């Protein structure tokens, strides 16, 4: 399968790239761009948004000196570092159990982590991070509690399946792909597919459907959410020892179109290419989410596959935060040090807005942040021989938010919720107004285009930081022009959201390996949350871990509760 990169599309040599650093990128080397596009300025505005890299790097570089003693006598039960879905779910579980003696410290001004959304002054919502979850199963009662508390679930159907709020169910024209000069209402590139590609695609669908229905001698599935409920049968677990591309090869699924499709999906779900993604993780996506083989699912078992909102998962995380006492969440709080002192934990943090240092004591602490920060926040972790965080690779993301005056032409097709571009370095874009039924294409729309920078992650992060709005805006527009030649006339604003370390790649050996197992163990009174300890970086896993941590802490505090994490029949 050919590897497509920004460099191959841009046709830039090393000298051109080097010369572009720190300068305005007019990109005259781009092939096929109209003269209008190569003007001195783009005919619309925009800005770079996303996480606060400057503050995070100040913590990393040690330019801020943490306080070493608490600035008041209050002792909290729990301090939660990070206000993404990991920290929010831990706090929700504590709060639901009657314990509100906690504090969440979140670096950004808005909680949610990569699950972020935004809203314009005219009321249009859009995703600037993760944008969907799978339809919850009857067994995932911890998700039911979160969704009901957030007002997006209305109880259960008679058969036990959750009744999700109608406005959250993805329906209508769900998927598009642009290939061979035309749009097609699917995710698979049928326009470019040979007969062998179609045979391989069908065989792959049957294979993943087999895994969906596979059960071990104890009735446990090969794949489901959360992964702790899955089978430990060696036949299944050994899949973590090979890549998804190797799995396709061993099964004889030799098809460029199928490889492209599977690669597109692993990048979209995990920020990890088919060559690096563990086969266990890859099959988990296709089998547990029942994607890629709709025709094989009996009518009696069909439910909507995806749940989403105009603001993506920002809709959900904002509601999760709203269920908590307002004074328990502190934003703009950069944590500098987390120290286990035996009988308690001392957490030092810096208020980005007031420029003041603070320090608080708690009985327990939770780290709901990427573990590449461990050696900076907890030097003792490495000093005591713990290096389980070291092999981790984190994907950076560029999300281009394109504000349109109206929807451009789709030829013989029409705008869908997800719109893929075949042989693109991006993952395509979602239409944030898809859930607004009956919205005219002549009205303003907002698209969110996603790109996982999943190759050489260190170099990709340097490019993420180094290149500014002009560079990423031009790359975005040029990519869109392949399918919409006149798109530049429809854009009124284009913002670039940068995310540096939000998603750990589930590479070969990660899901069931010793490194992840090590991170699941408490370090004194400090517990590890976040997607990078969950095996696969998805909302369902992160929130399960959040509830699990809350139950462990409540037991440590002497106030155990009946578990919310026991599955029914899976």
Encode 332-354: b = buried (16+ Cβ within 10 Å), e = exposed.
bbbbbbbbbeeebbbbbbbebee
Chain center to CA of 388? 22
pLDDT score, position 416: 95
Q: Is the pLDDT of residue 40 over 50?
A: no
The pTM for the full model equals 0.91
pLDDT score, position 21: 26
Q: Among 171-180, 331-340, 467-476, which range has the highest average pLDDT?
A: 331-340
Angle between helices 314-322 and 85-96 (to 10 degrees): 30
**pLDDT tens, position by position, 413-470:** 889 999 999 989 899 999 999 998 889 999 999 999 999 998 766 777 788 888 899 9
Kindly report the CATH number that applies to the domain delimited by 55-114+314-390+512-556. 3.50.50.60
Q: How far apart are CA 382 and CA 395, in angstroms?
A: 23
pLDDT score, position 263: 96
Range from 53-67, 127-141, 354-368 carrying the lowest mean pLDDT: 53-67
Q: Is the pLDDT of residue 301 over 60?
A: no
pLDDT score, position 299: 56
Residue that has been written with the tokens 């509760």 in this structure: 561
Q: Which residues face 80 on adjacent strands?
A: 104, 366
Q: What residues does CATH 3.50.50.60 cover in the chain? A: 55-114+314-390+512-556
Task: Identify whether the C-beta of residue 570 lies closer than 8 Å to the C-beta of residue 113.
Answer: no
**Nearest CA-CA partner of 47 in 493, 501, 500, 462:** 493
pLDDT band at 24 (very low <50, low <70, confident <90, very high): very low
Q: How many Cβ atoms sit within 10 Å of the Cβ of residue 310?
A: 23
Task: Identify whether the C-beta of residue 50 lies closer than 8 Å to the C-beta of residue 498.
Answer: yes
pLDDT score, position 291: 62
Q: Is the pLDDT of residue 12 over 50?
A: no
pLDDT score, position 53: 82
Percentage of the residues of the chain whose pLDDT score is greater than 90: 72
Q: Is the pLDDT of residue 270 over 70?
A: yes
pLDDT score, position 126: 96
pLDDT band at 71 (very low <50, low <70, confident <90, very high): confident
**pLDDT tens, position by position, 89-120:** 999 999 999 999 999 999 999 999 999 999 99
pLDDT score, position 28: 35
Helix ranges (DSSP H) in 223-378: 234-237, 244-251, 256-270, 279-288, 314-322, 374-377
pLDDT band at 300 (very low <50, low <70, confident <90, very high): low
- In three-state secondary structure terms, 491 is strand
Q: What residues does CATH 1.10.405 cover in the chain? A: 192-301
Higher pLDDT, 554 or 454: 554
User: Mean pLDDT score of the chain, rounded to an integer?
Assistant: 88
Residue that has been written with the tokens 């990078």 in this structure: 532
Which class would CATH give 192-301? mainly alpha
């Amino acid at each position: 399968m050919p590897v497509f990169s920004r460099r191959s599309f841009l046709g830039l040599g090393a000298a051109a790239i080097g010369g572009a650093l720190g300068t305005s990128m007019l990109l005259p080397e781009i092939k096929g761009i109209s003269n209008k596009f190569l003007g001195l300025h783009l005919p619309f505005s925009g800005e770079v948004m996303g996480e606060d890299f400057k503050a995070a790097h100040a913590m990393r570089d040690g330019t801020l000196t943490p306080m070493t003693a608490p600035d008041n006598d209050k002792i909290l039960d729990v301090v939660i570092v990070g206000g993404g879905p990991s920290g929010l779910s831990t706090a929700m579980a504590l709060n639901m159990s009657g314990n509100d003696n906690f504090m969440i410290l979140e670096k950004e001004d808005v909680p949610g982590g990569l699950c972020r959304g935004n809203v314009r002054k005219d009321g249009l919502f859009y995703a600037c991070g993760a944008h969907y979850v799978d339809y919850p199963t009857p067994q995932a009662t911890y998700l039911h509690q979160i969704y009901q508390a957030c007002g997006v679930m209305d109880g259960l159907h008679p058969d036990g399946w959750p009744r999700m709020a109608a406005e959250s169910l993805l329906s209508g024209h769900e998927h598009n792909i642009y290939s061979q000069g035309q749009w097609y209402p699917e995710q698979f590139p049928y326009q470019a597919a040979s007969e062998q590609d179609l045979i391989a695609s069908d065989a792959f669908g049957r294979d993943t459907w087999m895994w969906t229905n596979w059960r071990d001698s104890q009735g446990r599935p090969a794949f489901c959410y959360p992964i702790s409920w899955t089978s430990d049968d060696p036949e299944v677990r050994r899949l973590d020892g090979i890549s998804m591309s190797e799995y396709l090869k061993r099964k004889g699924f030799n098809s460029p179109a199928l490889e492209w499709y599977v690669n597109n999906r692993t990048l979209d779900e995990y920020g990890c290419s088919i060559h690096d993604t563990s086969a266990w993780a890859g099959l988990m996506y296709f089998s547990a989410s029942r994607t890629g083989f709709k025709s094989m699912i009996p009518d009696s078992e069909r439910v909507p596959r995806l749940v989403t909102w105009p603001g993506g998962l920002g809709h959900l995380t904002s509601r999760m935060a709203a269920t908590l006492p307002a004074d328990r969440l502190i934003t703009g709080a950069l944590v500098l040090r987390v120290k286990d002192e035996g009988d308690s934990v001392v957490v030092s943090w810096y208020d980005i807005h007031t420029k003041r240092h603070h320090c608080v004591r708690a009985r327990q602490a939770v780290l709901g942040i990427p573990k590449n920060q461990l050696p900076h926040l907890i030097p003792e972790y490495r000093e005591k021989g713990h290096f389980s965080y070291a092999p981790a690779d984190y994907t950076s993301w560029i999300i281009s938010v394109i504000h349109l005056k109206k929807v451009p032409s789709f030829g013989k097709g029409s705008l869908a919720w997800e719109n893929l571009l075949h042989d693109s370095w991006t993952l395509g874009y979602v239409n944030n107004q898809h859930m607004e039924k009956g919205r005219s294409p002549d009205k303003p729309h907002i698209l969110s285009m996603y790109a996982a920078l999943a190759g050489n992650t260190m170099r990709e992060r340097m490019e993420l930081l180094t290149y500014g709005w002009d560079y990423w805006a031009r790359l975005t527009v040029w990519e869109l022009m392949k399918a919409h030649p006149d798109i530049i006339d429809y854009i009124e604003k284009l913002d670039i959201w940068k995310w540096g370390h939000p998603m750990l790649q589930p590479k070969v050996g990660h899901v069931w390996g010793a490194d992840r197992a090590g991170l699941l163990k408490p370090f004194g009174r400090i517990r590890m949350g976040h997607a990078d300890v969950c095996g696969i970086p998805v909302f369902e896993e992160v929130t399960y871990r959040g509830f699990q941590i809350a139950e462990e802490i409540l037991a440590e505090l002497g106030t155990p509760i009946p578990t919310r994490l026991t599955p029914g029949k899976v």
